[in-house]
Amino acid sequence: MSTEKTFRLDGKAIPFEDGETVMDAALKAGEYIPHLCHNPDFEPHGSCRICVVDVNGRHQCSCTLPASEGMDVDNSSEAITNKRRTLLQMLFVEGNHVCPACEKSGACQLQAVAYQTGMLNPHFTHFFPKRSIDASHPDIVFYFNRCILCGLCVRVSRDVDKKAVFSLSGRGHRTRIIFNSPSGKAVDTELAITDKAVSVCPTGAILPKHHGYETPVGERLYDCLPISVVGDAAKHHTAKKHFLNGDPDE
Question: pLDDT digit string (tens) for 216-236?
Answer: 988 999 999 999 998 653 444
Q: What is the pLDDT averaged over residues 171-195?
A: 95
pLDDT band at residue 247, thresholds of 50, 70 and 90?
very low
| Mode of pairing for the β-strands spanning 72-74 and 5-9 | parallel
Q: Which residue spans of the chain are classified as CATH 3.30.70.20?
A: 99-244
Q: What is the pLDDT averaged over residues 196-201?
A: 96
- CA terminus-to-terminus distance, the chain: 45
CATH number listed for the domain at residues 99-244: 3.30.70.20
Q: Is 237 helix (H, G, I), strand (E, B) or coil?
A: helix
Residue 245 has pLDDT above 90, yes or no: no
**Alpha carbon separation from 95 to 58, 63, 89, 121, 155 (Å, rounded):** 29, 24, 10, 14, 21
pLDDT at 214: 86
Chain mean pLDDT for the chain: 90
CATH 3.10.20.740 fits 5-76, yes or no: yes
The answer to whether 231 and 27 are in contact (CB under 8 A) is: yes
b/e burial code for range 210-223 (CB count within 10 A of at least 16 → b): eeeeebeeeebbbb
Q: Which has more confidence, 173 or 23? A: 23
Q: Which residue spans of the chain are classified as CATH 3.10.20.740?
A: 5-76
Q: What phi and psi, each to the nearest 5 degrees, are found at residue 207?
A: -135, 150
| Greatest C-alpha distance within the chain | 63
